[in-house]
Structure 1
Amino acid sequence: MGIVIRQSIRNTVITYIGFGIGAINALILYPHFLGKELYGLTGFVLSAANVIMPIMAFGVHNTLVKYFVQYKTEEEKNGFLTYVVLLPLLLIIPLFLVVSIFYDPIALYFSSKNPGVYTYFWQIPIIGFCMGYFEIFYAWAKVHLESVFGNFVRELLLRVLISIGLTGVFLKWYDAAFFINLTLLVYLIATVAMMVYAFRVRPFRMDVTFPVNHKEVFTYSIFIILSGSIANVLLDLDKTILVKFVDAEYIAFYGVAIFIATVISVPARAMQQITYPITAKLMAEGKHDELNDLYKKSSITLQVLGGLIFAGIVVNIRQLYLMMPPEYSAGLFSVFVVGLSKYIDLILGNNNAIIFNSHYYRAVLILGILLTLIMVGLNLWLIPIMGIDGAAIATLISIGLYLLAKLLFVVLKMDLYPFTVRTLYSTGILIVTILGFYFWEFPFHPILNIGLKSVLVTFFFMGAHYFLNVSSEVNGMLHLALSLFKRRKS
């Protein structure tokens, strides 16, 4: 776990700084500089682009991680890398042609409730293209155990550029409507930066001698397109459907709630950048015991770190909404519901990496398709009745069922189990923390209230975990942080 911990710490620091900047964007700059309607339209464009991203990437960002370790010679590796870089064009070119020919009917369908959608609909496939190839080049770097730069670009650079763009609106360099066009440029810059770095890690050498197992690689990529699409649909389909039933401003309210809840996933996003290729390597080498150990360690570590964030969000959420325009509090319920789904996802550790690198991904894919249909049905049923609260409930039910299905496959088919008695300890500490601090408010300004309560929650939550030695990895991080503090103090 040494390299995992080192790069995870770096990725976590970068990701938290990025999320801090993202919080400023989502909670302050977007609502005040862009306005509710354009904020909602921006959220729809990015969500729709994320839904089609797996198609644009052709699933090869996961394929690259799974198969790269199997090639031994430089010629085999060059042929494989050339193959996976060109493979997405098989879908990208036809998709762009279809969008070009049928743009009007497609765009008009999605803009029936919100006419402004029509103006910016053309950006969706282009941003999706950038997102897809960013993930491909990021995977290129990750298979060489270089995950930090890609995390920096995705979590930090993107948000800094967005902040600069929003500041331009405030300074009246351009109007708010033009900012949405700048969003496309930001994603293009990120993709080019990732490509340049990936080619520095390992130069791209065109070799059309495709790998001998190219049919197997192609088949796996097709399945990953579908499973990746399912994962993205479960994340962003709700906002895509919302645009058909509610005004764009409610998409902004829901988007803020989703952003707040997504902070819970930061530790997983940081750790998975390095655990994914290590999982692939352990599975390729048939090291079952080491894989099971990694599974348990990743699960409890993420549960502790994610639980701290979840508790912090729940006990501070009312004060946080006091600092925003009052109408945004319409998303308060969604924060709790979606936050719970993120926490459940977190405690499964590197479950996704295990499934995507096993031969059971096809079976899980079938379940995923069924659950996607359930999610679509739940959204179409609950959104017209409950609005954004209905979308949040549909998300929780769908993600919960999907995670349960994947967990059962790993446990029953692969004899891998992520939970121990320490899982119960951490869950108990989380419940006690929330019940103990949720109703406790200080008579201060919301920022002081949030800061003071967060310090108290952190000391109580982490202190309880440290005392019970729930996670040796987390205790190791605390020892490292304490030793660095003492060294600087001396």
Structure 2
Amino acid sequence: MGIILKQSFKNTIFIFLGFGLGGINTLFLYPNFLDDKYYGLVIYLLSTSNLLMPLIAFGTHHAIVKFYSSYKTKEEKDRFLSSLVFLPLLIALPFAFFFNFFYEEIGDYLASEENIIIKDYTYVIYLAAVTCAYFEVFYAWAKVQFQSVFGNILREIWNRAIIMILLFAVYFKFITETEFISYLIASYFLRMFVMMFYALKLYIPKFTFSRPNNFKEIIRFSGYIILAGSAGAILLDIDKYMIPGKESLATAAYYTVAVFIGSFIEAPSRAMLNILQPLTSKTLNEENHKEVASLYKKSSINLLLISGLFFLLVNTNVAQLFELLPPKYSGGGAVIVVLMISLLKLYSGFLGNNGAIINNSKFYKITLPISISMALSVYFLNKLFYYELDMGTEGLALATMIVIFAANTFKLFFVNRKFSITPFTEKSLMMILIIAVLYLGFNFWDFPISDIYIWKFPIHPIINIALKSILILVIYIFLVLKLKISNEFDSLLKKYYR
């Protein structure tokens, strides 16, 4: 776990910085600097592009991670990378023709009478999908060289920093809200090129038209992944895509804020999995099953430990946090949405590198029926809860929670059946009890501090959040160290304590 902890620590810093910038943008700048309609429009366009991106990427970024470590010579690696780097372009060019030829029809289909503005920005969906697809390809290129930090900076910080700059530009009337979207897409292109040059700096292949010997296997894998990835994208973004079909674009903005807050706890998972994915692939290719089992258990307990802390910090302070936002953002059961999304992220962290084990093993084909089942399930549950039962955005969050919880539980049993390993250790139940007891102990009260304002801005929620967070942090770390939950966590603290 040495290389994992080292790069995960760096990645965690940048991911938290990215989440911090994203939090400022999502919770404060977007609601106050950009009209709700345009905020919802940005969310809709980017969410819809995420539905298209896996098709254009053609699973190339996943194939790079899975197969790269299986090649032993530079010639084999060069043939492999040369064959894959142009695959997304073969998909993107026909899509460009299709979008151009049927632009009016696509715009009419996506735009409703209440949200007709969508039609003028349909092209953004395609451009964002292409740039994100190629960014992921070159990010995977860097990850297989075990250099994930710079790409992580570009993924987590770049767009959020650009958005912050552009939002201030809108506020000071340097640009219009329409120009905001154009500049944002331009930043996506620039990020793609920066990632490309960095990846080529790490490793420049001798480009060749020769294909690797297992090219058919790679294409089969990519075919499965492209379908599974598309289904996975539907699962993640279908809710934001469906909202404008019933309500205004502004509702998508309000829902996005609640989802963002609930998703905050996945930051450490994303940091660790960036480096765990290529390592998991390497150990599987080497058939080192003992190391696979070790990575599984260590990733589970450490992610549960870190994710559990952020679950507590978010959910015990969420009511105070919403007091800092305009009242319309806390309506519609936003607190419940945060709880459901954060429980889901906590469970996903608890399963460690479960998904990486499946995706990089010979059983990767199971991801296709799982993903398709999830996509269909979440779509029909969204239709039931959101449209027919009129449960509001809580229904969308509930549908997502049910489907992903069921799928993750299936993956847990699947890995156990095929590899005879589980992520559980003797400390897992102890860690769950710590999280549950502290949540129940701190969720239903706040410090009796109220009505403190600076220039009409409420300061008392910030004071409450800070005091309660410090108290939770001290108790949590004390219990984790006292009960010796994680050897890696103990070693890390002792290193900095000394």
Q: TM-score, normalised by structure 1?
A: 0.96
Q: Distance in 2 between matches of 1:41 and 1:417?
A: 43
> 436, 444, 459: which is aligned to 2:441?
436
Could you tell me which residue of structure 2 aligns to residue 487 of structure 1? Answer: none
Could you tell me which residue of structure 2 aligns to residue 467 of structure 1? Answer: 482
CA contact (8 A) 2:41 2:118 kept: yes
Q: Which amino acid aligns with 1:79?
A: R
Could you tell me which residue of structure 2 aligns to residue 329 of structure 1? Answer: 330
CA contact (8 A) 1:17 1:156 kept: yes
Q: Distance in 2 between matches of 1:368 and 1:401?
A: 12
Q: Which amino acid aligns with 1:60?
A: T
Q: Cα deviation per residue 1:61-118 (whole Å; 9 max; x = unaligned)?
A: 1100111111122221111101111112232222222222222222222211411111
Of 312-321 and 352-361, more deviation after overlay is shown by: 352-361
> 387, 401, 412: which is aligned to 1:407?
412
Could you tell me which residue of structure 2 aligns to residue 486 of structure 1? Answer: none
Q: Cα deviation per residue 1:276-327 (whole Å; 9 max; x = unaligned)?
A: 1110110001111111011000011000100100110000001100011000
CA contact (8 A) 1:54 1:228 kept: yes
Kindly indicate whether residue 495 of structure 2 is the aligned counterpart of residue 480 of structure 1: yes
The structural deviation recorded for 1:204 is 4.3
Q: Distance in 1 between matches of 2:222 and 2:21?
A: 34
Q: Distance in 2 between matches of 1:417 and 1:147?
A: 27
The CA RMSD measured in Å over matched residues stands at 1.2
Kindly indicate whether residue 273 of structure 2 is the aligned counterpart of residue 272 of structure 1: yes
Kindly indicate whether residue 265 of structure 2 is the aligned counterpart of residue 260 of structure 1: no
Of 372-381 and 471-480, more deviation after overlay is shown by: 471-480
CA contact (8 A) 1:246 1:387 kept: no
Within-5 A mapping of 1:35-184: 35-112=35-112, 113-184=114-185
Q: Cα deviation per residue 1:329-381 (whole Å; 9 max; x = unaligned)?
A: 02222111111111111111011110111121212321221221111101111
Q: Which amino acid aligns with 2:352?
A: G
Could you tell me which residue of structure 1 aligns to residue 249 of structure 2? Answer: 248
Q: Describe the shift of the 1:97–1:14 C-alpha distance in structure 2 as closer, same or farther (beyond 3 A).
A: same
Q: Distance in 1 between matches of 2:15 and 2:374?
A: 30
CA contact (8 A) 2:50 2:129 kept: yes
Q: Which amino acid aligns with 1:447?
A: I
Within-5 A mapping of 1:379-418: 379-384=382-387, 385-418=390-423
Could you tell me which residue of structure 1 aligns to residue 471 of structure 2? Answer: 456
Kindly indicate whether residue 376 of structure 2 is the aligned counterpart of residue 373 of structure 1: yes
Aligned residues: 483
Unaligned runs of 5+ in 2: 451-459
Q: Distance in 2 between matches of 1:403 and 1:105?
A: 38
The structural deviation recorded for 1:216 is 0.6
CA contact (8 A) 1:10 1:148 kept: yes
Of 33-42 and 103-112, more deviation after overlay is shown by: 103-112
CA contact (8 A) 2:43 2:252 kept: yes
Q: Distance in 1 between matches of 2:33 and 2:482?
A: 46
Secondary structure, aligned partner of 1:386: coil
Q: Which amino acid aligns with 2:479?
A: A
Q: Cα deviation per residue 1:390-420 (whole Å; 9 max; x = unaligned)?
A: 1111110111112112212111112121112
Q: Distance in 1 between matches of 2:104 and 2:410?
A: 39
Secondary structure, aligned partner of 1:211: coil
Q: Which amino acid aligns with 1:423?
A: S
Kindly indicate whether residue 231 of structure 2 is the aligned counterpart of residue 210 of structure 1: no
Within-5 A mapping of 1:20-31: 20-31=20-31
Unaligned runs of 5+ in 1: 484-490
